[in-house]
């Protein structure tokens, strides 16, 4: 069924197809940068302190961003519950 989505146009316009294209397009720049800066990453960014700092910084960013996402999901669940009745 997924193979058909590349052939028939009505399957290519769905939300799953768009998400697939977004993943492909978003992966290309990261792959190109990874290949380009592979030596720099291996030499400079392999330090344990840098890795720990990156994990902490991204954890704080996710902790700040998560409550707003949780509130939006809660509102969507409440809206869906009202429509089921």
Tally the residues of the chain: 85
Instruction: Report yes or no: 12 and 5 within 8 Å, Cβ to Cβ.
Output: yes
In eight-state DSSP terms, residue 14 is S
Over residues 10-48, the pLDDT tens digits come to: 666 777 888 888 899 999 998 999 899 988 888 888 889
Distance CA 24, CA 45 (A): 26
Total-model pTM: 0.45
The residues spanned by each domain of the chain are: 1-46, 47-85
Gap between the Cα atoms of 15 and 53, Å rounded: 36
Query: Mean pLDDT, to the nearest integer, of 3-9?
Result: 58
State the residue for tokens 């902490």.
56
């Amino acid at each position: 069924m997924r193979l058909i989505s590349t052939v028939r146009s009505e399957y290519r316009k769905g939300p799953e197809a768009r998400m697939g294209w977004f993943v492909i397009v978003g992966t290309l720049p990261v792959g190109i940068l990874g290949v380009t800066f592979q030596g720099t990453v291996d030499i400079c960014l392999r330090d344990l302190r840098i890795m720990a700092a990156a994990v902490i910084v991204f954890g704080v960013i996710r902790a700040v961003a998560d409550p707003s996402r949780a509130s939006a999901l809660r509102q969507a669940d409440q809206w869906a519950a009202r429509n089921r009745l």
